[in-house]
Every structure is written in C-alpha cells, then in structure tokens.
Amino acid sequence: MKFLLIIFLLANMLTAQEQTLPHYMTAQEKAQYQTYRLRQKLAKPGLAEAPPVAVRAMAEWEELHGLEITWTSYYEILAQIVDYAQEEVTVYIVCSDSNQVKAYLTQHGVPLTNTKYLVEDYDTIWCRDYGPWSAYESDVNKLDIIDWIYNRPRPDDDAIPSAIATYLGKDIYEATESPDDLVHTGGNFMVDGHGTGFASQLILDENTDKSEAEIDDILYRYLGVNRFIKMETLPYDEIHHIDMHMKLLDEETLLVGEYPEGVADGPQIETNLQYVLDNYQTCFNRPYNVVRVPMPPDANGRYPDNNGEYRTYTNSVIVNKTVIVPVYEEQYDTTALRIYREAMPGYKVVGIDCNDIIGALGAIHCITKEIGVDEPVWISHASIRQAYESEQNYLVSAQINSASGIASATTWWSSDTTVGYQALAMTPVGTDSFTVNIPAQPAGTTVYYYISAQSNSGRSVSKPLVAPNGVFTFMIETVSDLAERNTTLSRFRLAQNYPNPFNPSTSINYELPISNYIKLEIFNTSGRKIRTVVNSLQTAGEHTVTFIADGLPSGVYFYRLQAGALVQSRKMLILK
C-alpha cells in the first residue's frame, strides 16, 4: 500500500512539473527545439494552407464570443479570470478533468454560469502563445481559426487551436507547410483590426530560413496584415514578447511601459517607441496616442537589470466591457489602475494579483486567448480629435459592415450628458459608408458622441463598445487657438545632423517653439544611452550644438530631442 502511495505521489509530482513549465524554454526544451520544429511541420492537423479569400484579423477590443484558458496551475488566478470573464463571454476551459475544475471554482465562490470545458491533452498554461487566432473572411463574414507552429517544443499545446476549431465547428488554416511554415508566438503579436501588426524582431530570429518579405507575405495571406511593424528585442525581456511592455488599447492608442531613466529595458523601449512614432501613423493616417504606465520594481525594490522580477501592467486582457489587469503591490497598483480607467473610460477595470506567476515571465494576457463572435457588426471610425468654432457642422463618418448587411446606423451626441444624448440617423453614402453631421457648437463646448449600428439579422453594437458609459469627446476651439497650437507643433523641429556620416564631430540643429527644459541624448542601436549632449532650460528659437564622438566606434546611432511632451529622434552614422 505504501509503495502504491509513493508511486501515486511521484506521478502527481511529475504531472505538476509538466503543467507548470515556465513561459521561457527550459534547457532541455532548447535541446529538443529543432527536432520538434521539423516534426510539427508534418504533424499539425487542419488545412495547411491560407484561407481561400482575404481575411481580417480581429483586434482584442472587438466584440468577443469567448475567452480560452488552460486549467493547469496558478488556479487561484485562473478562477478569478473565469469569474470576471464569464460576466461578458463564454469561458472555454481546456482541462484534463472538468469535474475537478467545477469543484475548485465552486469551492472558491465562482458561479458556473457561462463556462464550457474541453477535455484535451496540453502542456502549459500559456495559451496566449499557442491559442487560436480569430480572423474574418472579407472583413466580417465567416469566422476562421488561424494557427502556426508554436515556438516551444510543446506538441500538446500546439494542437489546442485545432481542438477548439473542431469544438466550435470552425475551419482552421495553419501556416505549417513549406513555404508557409511559420514559427511564431501569440504574446509577440498584436493587431489593430485594420491590417497593422506589431511584433518584436523575434519573429525574424526564429524564421531565419525566410526573408522578411516572405514572413510579411504569410501574415498577409493568413491574417490580412498588410503593414507589419517589427521592433528591436529588449535586453532583459528573456522571451522577447511585446505584450510584456506594450498594448494596443484601440486602433490609435499605444499603452507603453515606462521604467525610470536608464533602468532595465527602459532605453530600448523608448527607442522602439520613437521608431514607431517617427515612421508610422495609425490606420487612419494620424499620429498615435501614447499612454505611459509604470513598470514597477519587485517586492525588494529591484528591476530586471538587477535580477528583479519582470513586473508589468501592460499584460492585461480586454474582455468586451471588462479589462483584467495584473497587479502586484498597492503602492504601484493604484497608479496603474487609474491610468487604465482614464485611458479607457466606461470600461470595468479590475485587478488580479499576479505575484505568483510573474516570476515565470507571464501574467494575465499570457494565459488567456480571445475568440470572436460569429457575426460581428464592425464599425471602423476615426474619431473627431479637434474642431473649431464656425458655422460648419462636424462630420461623423464610418465604415459599418456585417455579413447580413446594416439595417440602421445612428450617431448619438450631447453637449451635456446629464440630459442625455440626441440621435442622428446616419446616411449610407457608398459601399458600407455612413455619415451624419453633428450641429455646430460655440467655442468652449465639449461634444460627447458614439455610434451604434444594427445588422439585418438583428445584432447590435456600439463604437466605443462600452457606450454610452464611455464615448468619444472633442472640444470646440476658436480658430486662433487652433492656429496657435498648430504653429507651436510645426516649430518644434530636430534637423538631420551635418555632416553625416561624420568623424569625429557633427552639428545638430533644432528649433523650440517656446522656452522649455530640454534633453538632447545619444543612443546606440540597443537603446542604451551613450551621451547627454544638452540637459538644460533653453529659450525659444533655433539652436545648434556640436557632438564629438570621441571614443565611440563606427556604427549607427540615434539622437533624440525631448521638450516637455514633444519628442523627435533621428539616425546618424559614425564612420571611422
């Protein structure tokens, strides 16, 4: 009897070890990786081909039908995710024993009101990386599941998307056979729902048998990504997943983690952010809005460059009208949650303690995966950012589409939300295009508005999804206010250094619209700050400084000018 008990306990210990594999690859897995990758190309089920028509990858803030998790370990965290998420969507729980899951949830006070269970083999909890991707044929039609080769030697995890597709009755298209065999990971991929994708250069490092153009082509044919933004990997983020330090909150807003100056991955994050802002605009051809959230130290006050844990607040998940955020310590959490609530008005923002899991290099986003609705009502709208006092009305335009067609579209607006919103029926003006005019308002008025639409099949949705609790806003300015601000922005200028290339010195010219405290700094390609050239209060007007590159090797460098909220950077070349 004792012998049997020992065998049972050992078996449980081995199972627990399998199920608590960290987010990163273990030494044993690294040794297995190349053999595994070749095997998975041949073993993946599903259609090893791209969808037959153009598809659109779903953004995280779009309407969801479900959220997938894998019930392996960190049960307390998973139970809280189920509790919050099932108020919004069906939670699909991949597990080995549904009764065990139900018993745990019930014991911990979580009602079983909107849960389904898939009894499948699995390896780990990290379903963000291996889970299914939702994409719609022709923007809004049939929902497909998209998959690729998981970048970990964990074959049971890699088979989960196929199991979910079968359970849901969806076609699955897998980029697994040459020339489309793509190694990729979900935590290192974000999309805006309009064809833009973000990743670190990990995707290039893990597919060295392909050119960047070939990788871009695969992402276009399988997920509709026609603009793929890739950033340098970070020196202290061992897994190189962008969800550990950034998040798209909507089509035009980047939530980006921020370290104290010069700490850990801070310099490379700043360089990457500036690279994006300097070279790309939103899907609506406007500058990105950037929201900064602190990257807090661990309980001992340490950051990752001093062996501290990689605490992050960007690793959250949006589940329809609820945002679930990892939290760690109240003194930092209150700031992070406030930032979320200010950036995402109308959403229910909740926190789950992730101290137990963050040491494995993951949090909430890493252990959840969204599943889209079957018939989305998709509203694409560039919100009004600014307007000025005139006799002209304010045009609201949107692309609105659904598989069954749009029965009606309405813009709701108000200048005083305490008395409610007025409805304006939108007029179709072309294929899937709708417009309406909000009446002109006097200067100083704040206008609040949102869009709602109903499909011919009776499905309804609003943009923003949380409206009317959260809406778009803009303030009416005078023409002089608008002109003054535009003049100020246009007079903030960082010129290209001259000469360039140079050795050993070059001149840097810049213009300030007003007197301001400025920093002019030099960074290498890894994002590490090399020199501070200027760090002082300077007057408005043109300025020129000389940078002497003594002691620096040949190569590419970046110089960045910061004056308050205004930031610009440029590239220069030292050639010795």
Distances 546 to 497, 521, 566 between C-alpha atoms, Å: 9, 12, 22
In which domain, by residue range, is 123 found?
A: 41-372
Q: Which CATH number covers residue 515?
A: 2.60.40.1930
Q: Give pLDDT tens digits for 434-480.
A: 999 999 999 999 999 999 999 999 999 999 999 999 999 999 987 66
Report yes or no on 27 lying in a domain. no
Q: Among candidates 170, 150, 168, which has minimal Cα distance to 159?
A: 150
Among 307, 340, 372, residue at a domain's last position: 372
Report yes or no on 223 lying in a domain. yes
| Same domain as 470, residue 345 | no
Helix (H) or strand (E) holding 64: strand 64-70
Is the predicted pLDDT of residue 16 greater than 80, yes or no?
Answer: no
Give how many domains the chain has, as a whole number. 3
Is the predicted pLDDT of residue 510 greater than 50, yes or no?
Answer: yes
198-212, 385-399, 482-496, 539-553: which range is least confident on average? 482-496
Average pLDDT over every residue of 233-257: 97
What per-residue confidence (pLDDT) applies to 514?
79
Average pLDDT over every residue of 105-114: 97
Average pLDDT over every residue of 493-505: 90
* pLDDT greater at residue 406 or residue 495: 406
Q: Which CATH number covers residue 189?
A: 3.75.10.10
Q: How far is Cα 36 from Cα 29, in angstroms, rounded to an integer?
A: 9
The pLDDT-based confidence of 489 (bands split at 50, 70, 90) is low
Among 351, 372, 393, residue at a domain's last position: 372
Among 344, 372, 400, residue at a domain's last position: 372
| Same domain as 424, residue 391 | yes
Tokens representing 440 are 């002109």
| Same domain as 300, residue 176 | yes
| Same domain as 474, residue 335 | no
Cα of 454 vs its chain's centroid, Å: 28
Report helix, strand or coil for 461: strand
| Same domain as 118, residue 64 | yes
Cβ contact 76:108 at 8 Å: yes
What per-residue confidence (pLDDT) applies to 24?
85
| Same domain as 114, residue 79 | yes
Q: How far is Cα 496 from Cα 98, in angstroms, rounded to an integer?
A: 62
The pLDDT-based confidence of 483 (bands split at 50, 70, 90) is low
Is the predicted pLDDT of residue 574 greater than 80, yes or no?
Answer: yes
The one-letter code for the residue type at 129 is: D
Is the predicted pLDDT of residue 274 greater than 90, yes or no?
Answer: no
| Same domain as 446, residue 344 | no
Contacts of 238 by beta carbon, 8 Å cutoff, 6+ apart: 24, 361
The pLDDT-based confidence of 386 (bands split at 50, 70, 90) is confident
| Same domain as 548, residue 443 | no
Average pLDDT over every residue of 352-376: 98
> In terms of DSSP bridges, do strands 196-200 and 541-548 run parallel, antiparallel, or are they unpaired?
unpaired
Q: How far is Cα 67 from Cα 392, in angstroms, rounded to an integer?
A: 45
| Same domain as 278, residue 153 | yes
Report yes or no on 53 lying in a domain. yes
| Same domain as 434, residue 501 | no
Q: Give pLDDT tens digits for 47-71.
A: 689 999 999 999 999 999 999 999 9
Residue reference for tokens 């950033």: 231
Which strands sit side by side in the sheet containing 516-524, from one edge to the other? 529-538, 516-524, 555-563, 566-574
31-45, 389-403, 467-481: which range is least confident on average? 31-45
Report yes or no on 16 lying in a domain. no
Is the predicted pLDDT of residue 527 greater than 80, yes or no?
Answer: no
Q: Which CATH number covers residue 398?
A: 2.60.40.10
